[in-house]
Amino acid sequence: MKSMTGYGIGEVKWKGRTFHAEARSLNHRSIDIRVRVPRGYLLLELEIVKHVKEMCARGSVDIFVEEEVMTHGGEFSLDAAKARNVLSRLKKLQRLLALKGEIRMDHLMLFREFILRGSSDRDHEGCHRAMFQAFKKAMRDLGSMRQREGKALRGHIKKILDKILAVLTDCEEKAPLVLIEIRKRMKGKISNLLEKGQDIDNGKLEQELAFFAERHDISEEVERLKSHYSQARSLLDLAGPVGVKLGFIFQEMAREAGTLVSKSGHSSLAQCALDLRTWVEKAREQVQNIE
């Protein structure tokens, strides 16, 4: 089991160049991939997207791959036409905003599009391979973190499930108190009616008792919650993506817990039901991080 949250970095040095890669992932209902690579490496971007899909089933994943701008002794050249274009745009912006001062070289250097890294005989395929290797290192780093986070989440959710089972057992034990309280209330009402000299329809009384007993019966909810509990425990021990299934199970548990709260007439049972719903909601929050 893996978390959808993680971060990884990778670096590869090749022929005087240094390539950096960064991988970040956050929660997402499906798989959403955004890639930023140096201009002219469309095939690299496609390879990266394919590799991410093979490693991640869900999550919002951002990949950044870049070459270090300049290294000592590294070769670079300038595209004069692009440099003039940048300067022209800056001058136009200056006039538009009525800004004073001169446009200096350090201003131009903020726009790297006219800086061509490497010599004219740049090995495009070699750079492609080096960047992909840096990316794979970042993904391994990311994968390790997602595994560690997933392991921690598994342990935390198991503890919550233990709490849910304990509270559910408590609810089961206190359920008979609801019927006892109903009978006590009904007995009090009957006594008042008899004191006032009113007749009691035993058939109607039995119907009322049966109605209240059915209305406050939580046995079906308890059985379904136990079944959901067992399914959730089993899923936690699986290796593949289980986040969607766990999310559905805890959603159903939340619905059953809500029904149980509405049926609990006895104060002590009501508190148990509220505690159960609270623990289920905590589990749902944690499951949102699972792939």
What are the domain boundaries of the chain? 6-73+123-148, 76-113, 149-287
Ranges 73-77, 111-115, 140-144, 230-234: which has the least confidence: 73-77
Pairwise CA distance, residues 43 & 213, whole Å: 68
Pairwise CA distance, residues 2 & 260, whole Å: 32
Ranges 14-23, 65-74, 162-171, 218-227: which has the least confidence: 65-74
In angstroms and rounded to an integer, the radius of gyration of the C-alpha atoms of the chain is 33
| pLDDT mean across residues, the chain | 85
- pLDDT-derived band at 4 (thresholds 50, 70, 90) equals very high
- pLDDT-derived band at 33 (thresholds 50, 70, 90) equals very high
**Residue 128 near residue 41, CB atoms below 8 Å:** yes
40: alpha, beta or left, given left = phi > 0 and alpha = psi -120 to 50?
left
Is pTM beyond 0.85 here? no
* Whole-number pLDDT of residue 287: 94
Closest to 281 (Cα-Cα) out of 243, 251, 256: 251
Ranges 100-109, 174-183, 224-233: which has the least confidence: 174-183
Host H or E run for residue 243: helix 243-263
**Residue 16 near residue 68, CB atoms below 8 Å:** no
Average pLDDT for residues 116-121, to the nearest whole number?
52
Architecture of domain 149-287: Up-down Bundle (1.20)
Which residue did the predictor score with more confidence, 183 or 245?
Answer: 245
* Whole-number pLDDT of residue 71: 45
SS3 159: helix
* Whole-number pLDDT of residue 162: 95
pLDDT(56) > 90: yes
* Whole-number pLDDT of residue 226: 94
Which residue did the predictor score with more confidence, 71 or 198?
Answer: 198
* Whole-number pLDDT of residue 109: 74
* Whole-number pLDDT of residue 42: 87
Average pLDDT for residues 30-39, to the nearest whole number?
93
* Whole-number pLDDT of residue 248: 96
Average pLDDT for residues 74-85, to the nearest whole number?
72
pLDDT(196) > 70: no
* Whole-number pLDDT of residue 120: 47
* Whole-number pLDDT of residue 118: 52
Average pLDDT for residues 228-240, to the nearest whole number?
92
Q: Is 6-73+123-148 in CATH node 3.30.230?
A: yes
